[in-house]
Every structure is written in C-alpha cells, then in structure tokens.
Structure 1
C-alpha cells in the first residue's frame, strides 16, 4: 500500500492512495486407485484421479482526494471530493487426469484422459464522491455526502447509481447551562442515508454463454461427437438494476456519572430492487433466474450500555452490553414477479426459503404432517405411516429478531483478561442433520417401538377414528424422507455462546529502553469457546450446510463449526 499527501496550504490538501491484495494458491491432489466412488476404468487401465489446481487473485484499489478544512469564527467547514477505482481479478487453471496407464503414478502424463479447465473473472467499480461538514460553536453539526458508483457487472444502461446522505447532530451539553452534574455528555442525532450496490453479482451474469457438452451423441455416419449446450443454470438478465437502500435513523448518546455510557437509536430501512436468484421450473432448461425484487423493510432499535465499575491505579474493570431488536417485512415483489412469493433457496428433501409479501423476510416452508380440523395427526389406515400435509407449511422466519453481546474486560497492572458472550434469538432453522438422524434411527425420538418392532402413531385415520394400525418401525421413521417432511426437524435456531476469551500481557517493562522497539504485547485468544444454550439438537447452532444468504435457515449436514486458539505477538517500532 502506498499513500501520498500534499498540503497545498494550511487548510487545503490533496491525497492519493493505491493498494493491492494478492494471493496465489497451487494445489495438487489425487483420488487413489480403487476408491469406492469411482467408476470402472476402460480395459487395460486403472482408475484414479489426479488434479493440478492453480488459483490467483488480485484486487487493486486506487483513489484520490482533495480536501479543505477552514474555520470562520464560530463556524467550521470541511469539504472533500475524490474518486476510487476497484479492480478485482481471479484466475483458475485446473487439469484433471483420470484412468492411469501405470498404477500408483499420479501425474497428468500418466493419465489416459485429461480434462483442462481455465476460467477468468474480472470485476470493476468506478466511484466519484464528495462530503461536507458544517459545524457551529462545537455543538451543532451538519454532514452531507454524495456518491456515484458504476458497476461493471451490470449493463451499460443500468450500471450507474447516485446516492446521498445527510446527518445532523446537536451536542446539547455544550450549549445548555444548569444541567445536572451527573449528565456529563449528551448528543442528539438525526440521519437519512441511501446506499447502492450490485450485491456482488457474478461477472458476466447478464450474458448468455455456450459450451461443449461432456456427453457425446451419434451423428448420421454412426460416429460419436460432442454437441454444444448452454453453459450455466441461471437465466441471465440484461436489465438488472443496482439495489438501493434508504434508511432513516434517530438516536441519542449520553455519558452519565463519568463512567456510564448509553446509546439508543431507532432506524427504518427500506431496500428496493434487491438482486436475488429466484428458482424456476427446470423444464425451462435453467434452475434459477436473476431478478430485481420489489421492496422490503427493516425497522428496529439498537442499544448500547457501557460502564466502568472499577477504575483505580492498578485495576480496571470495563463492561458493556449491546443489543439490537429488528423486525422485517416484504412489501412487494415488483413487476417482474407473478404471485405473492418467490422461492430463493431450497435444500433437497427438507424445505425451502421464500420471500412472501406481507410476511417477515426469509420464511421457511416445508411439508408437514396431515392434521384434521381438531389438530390431530392423521395416519394411513393401511400401513400406519404418517400422511403428508396437503400444502407446504410456514414454519417462521430464519432471521433473528434479537442479537447482541456482553463484553467484560479486566486489567490488573500489565495483565488483561476479557471475554465476550453473544446471543441470537427469535428465528427458526430446518435441520437436515436431524432429518437424517431421525430416518436412520439415530435420534432419541426413534426409540419408540424398538422393543416390539412396530409403532402405533398417536392420532386418527382419515375417517376420524383413533389410529390402531401397527406400522413397521423402519418404514415408519423413513416416511419423512420419501414424503420430504420437514415439520419434525424445525427448531428454534437461537443460542447463547461464549464467543471469545482473551488473555494478554504487556511486555513493555521487560524490554530495555531503546529507540527501535517502543512496545510489545502478547495475547492468547480462543474463539467459539462454548455454546451456553441452544435448542437445535446434534449440531452447532451456527452451522449451515450452504453458506449463502439465499439458504439461511436450511442446515444441510455441513462441516462443524470450529473452535480456534491463537497466539499473537504485537511489536511497536
């Protein structure tokens, strides 16, 4: 990274910066001969795979800024304007070798079939922006910004978006006299802001591409040849527009009794033209379609409380609590959508994620058990197995209503100790791990009936009579798979967790006085330490099989959440 700043006068300056992030990864690996998942090789060869994978990534940011800071009596003025260019590129070069001539020799040259693949992805965002701050006598402030972005991932007609913001604040403790002595600081703020984004749409997502199909088909002469096909499963959309978020906020900040901080704010946010992948019928030749979705809103309250109960010469205790309460609602789906909902994500056999007009965002839906008008479960009179609901059921939102954390820091001389407890509450999850455990007899609920080899479900038959049919135990619990039922695997996704513990020591006193090293500190940090409370069985509450916003709440047997313990040494020069 390189930064250059030039002070033209004592109140006018110009600045330029350029920075680059880069990494390269070179990996090779093999699937040994005889692995179970591999198909039989052609005569005279041994099966197996060898892969060489080279990946390169580079992101360059370059910006310039011209600014001025000037005071005129009780007034202060700060103005700056500039621009930024972000360029990102990734290259992937892969060679796959299969079916070897010589057993145990894992090289591309030893493979009878070699499949090369090269892909490149480029993305660029050009931006111009300006900001201004006007202050009066240290207690009145007015800030305004304006920014225009141009996204290379969108079509030329739609890639530009302009968005402003304005904020006013009033530090009333600096302008009002005769305030209580316990009120040390007080500020009111009011803000309106807009933000634009392309939602990190994949480069070239608005173009249709073709490729060579891996399967070969016979031509009129009887020989086999490959054919062309559409390359991709998402319908491109050349009319995609940038999404826009408009937010209003009002808040207050207070400092009481020297050691107590309180912040409280209310916000209302409306998002329009969100870019989502809506699922469509695979009869179209595609699986999803990129569309702009109408409007949704979030509104809520953010709270912060900080206190220092003890502060002496050798010992200090700092504590803070932050919490957010948020409610959401889908206002409309826009002109591009027919109906009152769209499906934006799904997990095979156990549910889907929808955006439904008039409901909270991220609604989980899935098949459940058939019930009569009195709410009694209905069973098949012939085999005793549960019957499936006639329509998919709504299980609730996958987005938490409450989240926050509780932090404590204890400092004794040069030794410090801190920990963070956080929470997420008020949302649901469909657990694919539980579905598999249930149908394979690994969940404790499936203990019922093992002693006799059958289950008599508690409920009625379709005629309303008490169910007395014996169901063989294995088919009974496997019904949820064939019927794609999710109801038994819906859980409260909330949790309380000990997220982080940190122990540190300041080594400054142990270092001889010199001009080269001015400070040193060592820290031992543990993350994802423990789950204090959860409601979903078998898995960590943060676990999600597909890590994507469109599949939130659909857990699908992903890798467990990891606990990490780290050691770091910080030196100041």
Structure 2
C-alpha cells in the first residue's frame, strides 16, 4: 500500500484535502493485482463569511463536498486460479469379474480460473451540511450520497453441461444513493435537570444497473433447506441486491374448484356432510381430485386445502414466468432515537431503534408445518384447512409442494421498533464519598433488547447475514438475547 495525503487551508474557512493510494492483492491474476484509489474533499465554513458572521443564532454552518474510490477483494484466495479436484474411479475388479473393485484416485478439472479477474471498485460522491444553533443547543447534520460500484465480484452459477458448478467473475454494476440525517437537541438545561435528545435516520436505495449478458443471475443459497424454496434470490437489473422472487397466492383450493363436488346436472353440492363423504371416499381410495376447467393448476396433483397460486398472465397453468418480485431486506428507512435525562445525581437513558419497509424470507415455519408429517406447530395445526374446517386460512399439512414453494407468505414484513436499551444510574453524594476516601461512586442498572414491536412471525426481525446477495434469508436465526446488567463504579 502506498498513500499520499496533502491538506490545505485557505483563510481559515476553506479546507482542502486529497489522498491517493495504491493497494495490491495476491488474489488477483498478474496485471490486475494492483488498483488505485484517489479521494478528495472540500469544506467551507460559511458562518465565517461576512454575510453570516453577525448572525448570533448560528454557531456553525459548514458545507462539505467529497469524492472517493474504494476497492473490494472479498473473494476466495484461489478464486482466480483453475484448480484440480481429486476423484475416485473403479476401472476393473481385483479377480476378473467376480472380485471386489479396485478404487483408483485421479484428478479432474475442479474450478474454472479467470485471468481477467480484477478489483471491485466503488466511486462515492457526498454533499453534506453541518449546522449548529443557539449556543449548540441544536445540532443538525445532513449527508446526501451517491455510490456507484462496478466490476462486482459475483459467484455465477454455471449450467451442468459445462462440467462445473460456478465461477467467480466481475459482473455488472450497482448504485446506492441515500440521505442520512442526524439531529441533536438540548431540550431542557436547568441547574438540576437536563434533557437531551439524539435522532438519526437513514434512507437508502440500492439498485442493480447492469449484470452483463442475460437479465438475471440466480443465487442458490446453501442455507435453504433440502430442496425447499429453489430460485428465490436473483441478481437482476432494476432490482436491489438481495431481491426475492416467488409467487403470489390466491388462497386455498376449495371443494368448489373440483368437479368431484358437482352432481350430474353440474350443480355444486353445498351440503357439508355430502362433501365430507365425497372427500373421505377419494382420499380413502388414494384417488385424485379433478380440477374444474378454468381453475388455475399448479401443474401437479392438487386437492381441497392445497395452496393456490395466482396466475400473472394468460392461461391456467402456473409456470416460472408467474414469479414476481416479493421485496428485499433493504428498508425504506432505519435509525435510532435516544433520550437522556439527568436530575441531580440521577441519570436515565432510553434508546429506541427502528427499521421500516424491509422484508425477510422466513423459512423457519417450513419444517414445522408438516414436514415428514411431524413437527407440526400448534398455531399451524389450529388454523390449517380440513374438510370440517374449510374456512381455515392455512394449507393442509400434506401439501408438500405448497410448503416448499417460495411465495409472498414467506416474504414477511420485518419492520420493527425496539426498546433497545434503558440504563439508570445514581451517583452517590460526593460528601459521603469523601469520608470513605474516594472521589465518587455510582451504581447502575441497564437492560438491552428489552421489547420488540413487529408483525414478523419469527423470534427477531433483527439479524445479520454474511452474504448480502441473500441478506434477507432467515433460516433458524437465533434471537438477540435480552440482557440485564447491574454494577457500580468508584472514582479513586
């Protein structure tokens, strides 16, 4: 790494800085190991200008402009190299055709190398304002940014006919743009009582601008269980990173959707006892129900109580073309709000955290809704369809395809408001402490992750993922622990 960073200040109110660095990585092939990252920034202390210098209410007003380029090398150390893999073969037997086979070890092509692999780079432009008013009782910061990332390092899935599974390539570009706001206020400040507040909120929009050839790159996360929910995540032009795709649902198949529940005159048999007799007879004889003409088919055998998918175009058979965008884990906005209260020797702090508009693909219920006819959660059992409970909202447990198919039912709203932390402290009187030979002492208690207000049906909508391409995938995520602390401190 080489770094050059000059700075310059003019008239104490115009500030300039620039830097230039060169970084190298052995992960990339010869000729692409190094990349270059310039940056520059300008700040203008506007409150020092003659037209604002006498405005007493303004303590500081600063305009900031900046540009910088950064790089990403987060790939496997050997991703650029063509690798061989060991493979075992049986060429013959030890004793003619009747003995045990002789197992021989050989090597086969394992991964495809890329002599063109290079750094992923991000160019970011920022415009910011810092404002302080009324002897710093109001402090406001706003930052508007635009980030353009090119040569994305993406593991691309390859067709089976190639003999390989995947290859790391530089593919496409992504844009991130957004606004970050911070507001700090001193609401009350008297001899014995102080109340301050800090609010931060961020708005970010992420979009894939280009992915080279084709219109999508399927991402198959290994975390999705045993063949369930295939082809949920795509890198696709015009959509955010981590976009989820699946089917819209149209309720459940009901008796009215099947010819079996109509008499010879084509009249629907509405009597519940007769419906049950017909249903039990077909099920008892391992028969199949016959869909009426015009009723949308999933392309496989269905029966009353199975999940019905919504057709997006013409026809009455569901295909992969009927998948739609279900959302992503990118929130419309997120942030935090802190209030601090101080009265004489007592201090109280309350921190709220919030996120709005993001979705998570919740796979957690799949294994608890009839997988192998066991592990059925109570809430599901009480609300699933049966011939005696046809108004129930959830599909019958034997609907394996319905349970394994990615739909809007798994893409849940993960917006939340959390009481993230509350802390309380009491500082013991200094006079009493001096008698004990110490400068001061404080006792405190705090609670972290106390309450969460959300519609999300699993334990916690706040969890982290190591893969941004499938950042919204929630599979058995462990809830954030609720923690309580108590203690004391002494100033010697």
What is the alpha-carbon distance in structure 1 between the residues aligned to residue 420 and residue 148 of structure 2? 31
What is the alpha-carbon distance in structure 2 between the residues aligned to residue 495 and residue 131 of structure 1? 42
Which of 495, 500, 510 lines up with 2:416 in the alignment?
A: 495
Is 1:474 matched with 2:394?
no
What is the alpha-carbon distance in structure 2 between the residues aligned to residue 217 and residue 493 of structure 1? 52
Return the structure number with greater relative CO, CA threshold 8 A, min gap 6.
2
Contact 2:349 2:422 in 1 (8 A): yes
Which of 218, 234, 238 lines up with 1:358 in the alignment?
A: 238
Identify the residue that residue 108 of structure 1 maps to in structure 2.
none
Identify the residue that residue 288 of structure 1 maps to in structure 2.
166
**How much has 1:286 moved relative to structure 2?**
4.0
Identify the residue that residue 390 of structure 1 maps to in structure 2.
319
Cα distance, 1:163–1:567 mapped onto 2, change above 3 Å: farther
Identify the residue that residue 105 of structure 1 maps to in structure 2.
none
Q: In the TM superposition, what are the counterparts of 1:179-328 in structure 2 within 5 Å?
A: 179-199=54-74, 201-212=75-86, 217=90, 219-221=92-94, 222-225=100-103, 227-229=105-107, 235-258=112-135, 259-282=137-160, 284-328=162-206
Contact 1:323 1:403 in 2 (8 A): yes
What is the alpha-carbon distance in structure 1 between the residues aligned to residue 107 and residue 390 of structure 2? 51
Count of aligned pairs between the two proteins? 421
Q: Indicate the SS of the match to 2:461.
A: coil
Identify the residue that residue 481 of structure 2 maps to in structure 1.
562
Contact 2:332 2:358 in 1 (8 A): yes
Q: Indicate the SS of the match to 1:474.
A: coil
Cα distance, 1:449–1:277 mapped onto 2, change above 3 Å: closer
**How much has 1:363 moved relative to structure 2?**
1.2
Q: Indicate the SS of the match to 2:171.
A: strand
What is the alpha-carbon distance in structure 2 between the residues aligned to residue 378 and residue 447 of structure 1? 27
Cα distance, 1:173–1:148 mapped onto 2, change above 3 Å: same
The TM-score with structure 2 as length reference comes to 0.74
The TM-score with structure 1 as length reference comes to 0.64
Identify the residue that residue 405 of structure 2 maps to in structure 1.
484
Is 1:527 matched with 2:448?
yes
Contact 1:280 1:286 in 2 (8 A): yes
What is the alpha-carbon distance in structure 2 between the residues aligned to residue 541 and residue 162 of structure 1? 39
**How much has 1:368 moved relative to structure 2?**
4.6
**How much has 1:423 moved relative to structure 2?**
1.3
Q: Indicate the SS of the match to 2:16.
A: strand
Contact 2:307 2:395 in 1 (8 A): no
Contact 2:385 2:396 in 1 (8 A): yes
List gaps (5 residues or longer) in structure 2.
95-99, 252-293, 310-317
Which of 199, 204, 214 lines up with 1:339 in the alignment?
A: 214
Contact 1:370 1:378 in 2 (8 A): no
**How much has 1:261 moved relative to structure 2?**
0.7
CA deviation digits over 1:348-396, x for unaligned, max 9? Answer: 412522121122332101245479xxxx983578633345531233212
Contact 2:25 2:33 in 1 (8 A): yes
Identify the residue that residue 278 of structure 2 maps to in structure 1.
none
**How much has 1:447 moved relative to structure 2?**
3.6
Contact 1:402 1:424 in 2 (8 A): yes
What is the alpha-carbon distance in structure 2 between the residues aligned to residue 218 and residue 456 of structure 1? 61
What is the alpha-carbon distance in structure 1 between the residues aligned to residue 17 and residue 489 of structure 2? 36
CA deviation digits over 1:271-294, x for unaligned, max 9? Answer: 111212223345545443211121
Q: Indicate the SS of the match to 2:402.
A: helix
Identify the residue that residue 168 of structure 1 maps to in structure 2.
42
Cα distance, 1:270–1:171 mapped onto 2, change above 3 Å: same
Contact 1:370 1:390 in 2 (8 A): no
Alpha-carbon RMSD across the aligned residues, in angstroms, is: 3.7
Q: Indicate the SS of the match to 2:6.
A: strand
Q: Indicate the SS of the match to 2:336.
A: strand
Cα distance, 1:513–1:329 mapped onto 2, change above 3 Å: farther
CA deviation digits over 1:130-161, x for unaligned, max 9? Answer: 21221123211111111111112222321211
Q: Report which of the two has the higher share of strand.
A: 1
Cα distance, 1:267–1:543 mapped onto 2, change above 3 Å: closer
**How much has 1:566 moved relative to structure 2?**
4.7
Is 1:536 matched with 2:456?
yes
CA deviation digits over 1:431-471, x for unaligned, max 9? Answer: 1013334446537466456664574899xxxxxxxxxxxx9
**How much has 1:167 moved relative to structure 2?**
1.0
Contact 2:339 2:351 in 1 (8 A): yes
Identify the residue that residue 378 of structure 1 maps to in structure 2.
296
**How much has 1:507 moved relative to structure 2?**
7.8
